[in-house]
Structure 1
Amino acid sequence: MPLLDPNAIHPITLPDGTLYRDTVYLKNVIDHPRMEIGEFSYYTHSGRPEDTARILAPYLGGNVRERLVIGKFVQIARGSYFITSSANHPMTGFTTYPFRIFKPETFGYTDLPVKDTIVGHDVWIGHNAAIMPGVQIGAGAIVAAASVVSHHVPPYAVVGGNPATIIRMRYPSDVINELLDIAWWDWPIDKIEANLASLSSGDLAALKIA
């Protein structure tokens, strides 16, 4: 039996056989016109599965212009969330008060800049992190707990703080380029699971010939 079931809602079963219901595969619980989510990406929260989209991205309505794109095998810890472009207030005048949202006929700010928020594959977002509008997080990056990510994050960078800055790169640039070329997250799941030892141990040579 494979370790990962792409159709699961709650992918974690504890050693005593209890289904852990706080963690959900995002793709299987979210049906949102402005979200694109890859397989095996999960999020941990204490709400109902059907509330996942609202908890993850509370300002991303179905009729907004921006998108939230989350790659495959992304790990999002409890308390983390995305503040998307539609949460912005007008900032070009003398007040930031959003007067227009209080009448249906003027609701919304279609004149404000909009940028998609994009999370690459195999990204780990730690506990209580906030991802700001229009940020791009590269594949393999790690976002430390309680960080506020307001700028783009390079692939395989470790970032933390408020605002989040690069703490270190996980690997040298040549290794990062090879990992991006290998793109193991695009392999069939049986091939991924057959190469878990190499993935877990950091055996690049084995991955290159897999």
Structure 2
Amino acid sequence: MKYFDNYPPVAEPKPAHVLTKEPNIHPTCKIKDSTVGDYAALAESTVMVESSFGDYSYTAGNVHIMYAEIGKYCSIAINVRINPSNHPQWRVTQHHMTYRRIDYGLDTVDDTEFFDWRRADKCTIGHDVWIGHAATIMPGVNIGTGAIIGSGAVVTKDVGPYEIAVGVPAKVIKKRFDDETIAKLLDSEWWNWDRETLEANFKDLFDVPTFLNKFSSEKSI
């Protein structure tokens, strides 16, 4: 038995990779009719169709996003599916030959009404959402800012801000903070800071009491 310290061996350490304002998109990604924000990063084999992807958000690889709005600072783990393909259950056959008709030589046009139905059932993901490994966000679901979706979860219902949802189907098990803290964090809208403000106040994001003391409004929650 042989012990490997590092394989394959690296002759010299790779230089640190620093994200820039220009989105970092891996060459294997496939993007169609979508927008990608500043400092965003899309790892290997990410597919995005008719979606928006916010500033600083990233995918860890093999993520499929269809007809969705993704907020800023979202962390999306490997193998996540957001708004996966839906099928016409009301027809005699739900096979996609009924709407991808051209592929099968059954018509000269595809079923535009079916795709319009899918577009209308989009997913909306708030800011600073963490979606765990291999989770699936079903069509039409809204996930609030600051929420956490557990690995392998299948989310069929909306998840509120700063709620943690796990399981199949996913259920909310708790909130990250108490309601007063959540309200103050939402009120701060820190995710809308420009780059200069972010750099100036970056360390304040490490501790909730410090942050709220500095940035929450004085009004009663």
Please indicate, yes or no, whether the TM-score normalized by the shorter chain is above 0.5: yes
Aligned to 2:215: 207
* Equivalenced residues, count: 175
Q: How far apart in 1 are the matches of 2:199 and 2:47? A: 28
Q: Which runs of 5+ in 2 are unaligned?
A: 1-17, 26-39
Counterpart pick for 1:186 among 182, 192, 195: 192
- TM, length-normalised to structure 1: 0.72
Residue 108 of structure 1 pairs with residue 111 of structure 2: yes
With normalisation by structure 2, the TM-score equals: 0.69
1:33 Cα deviation after fit: 6.7
Could you list the runs of 5+ residues in structure 1 that have no partner in the other structure?
A: 11-23, 47-54, 61-66
Q: Distance in 2 between matches of 1:162 and 1:118?
A: 20
Q: What's the CA shift for 1:195?
A: 2.2
User: Do structure 1's residue 158 and structure 2's residue 169 form an aligned pair?
Assistant: no
- RMSD over aligned CA atoms reads 2.9
Distance 1:97 1:42 in 2: 33
Question: Quick one: distance in 2 between partners of 1:174 and 1:181?
Answer: 11
Q: Which residue of 1 aligns with 2:137?
A: 131
1:5 to 20, 32, 37: 20
For the Cα contact (< 8 Å) 2:59–2:76, is it kept in 1?
yes
Name 2:70's counterpart in structure 1. 70
Q: Is the 8 A contact 2:144 2:159 kept in 1?
A: yes
Structure 1 CA distance for aligned equivalents of residues 93 and 99 of structure 2: 14
Equivalent residue for 1:119? Answer: 125
Deviation digits for residues 155-184 of structure 1, max 9, x if unmatched? Answer: 100111111110101112222111111110
**Counterpart amino acid of residue 197 in structure 2:** K
Residue pair 2:80, 2:135 contacting (<8 A) in 1 also: yes
Shift, 1:43, TM fit: 0.6
Runs of 4+ in 1 over 4 A off after TM superposition: 29-33
Q: Secondary structure at the match of 2:72?
A: coil
* Structure with bigger gyration radius: 2
Matches within 5 A, 1:1-150: 5-9=20-24, 25-26=41-42, 34-45=50-61, 55-57=63-65, 60=66, 67-84=67-84, 87-93=85-91, 95-101=93-99, 103-104=101-102, 105=107, 107-108=110-111, 110-111=113-114, 112=117, 114-150=120-156
Q: In the TM superposition, what whole-angstrom CA distance separates every residue of 1:1-51 from its partner, at most 9, and x where no partner exists?
A: xx86322517xxxxxxxxxxxxx614xx999671111111101116xxxxx
Bigger relative contact order, structure 1 or 2, given CA contacts below 8 A and separation 6+? 1
Task: Tell me the CA shift for residue 208 of structure 1.
Answer: 2.5
Going from structure 1 to structure 2, the CA distance change for 1:45 and 1:98 (only over 3 Å counts) comes to closer
- Alignment partner of 1:177: what SS? helix
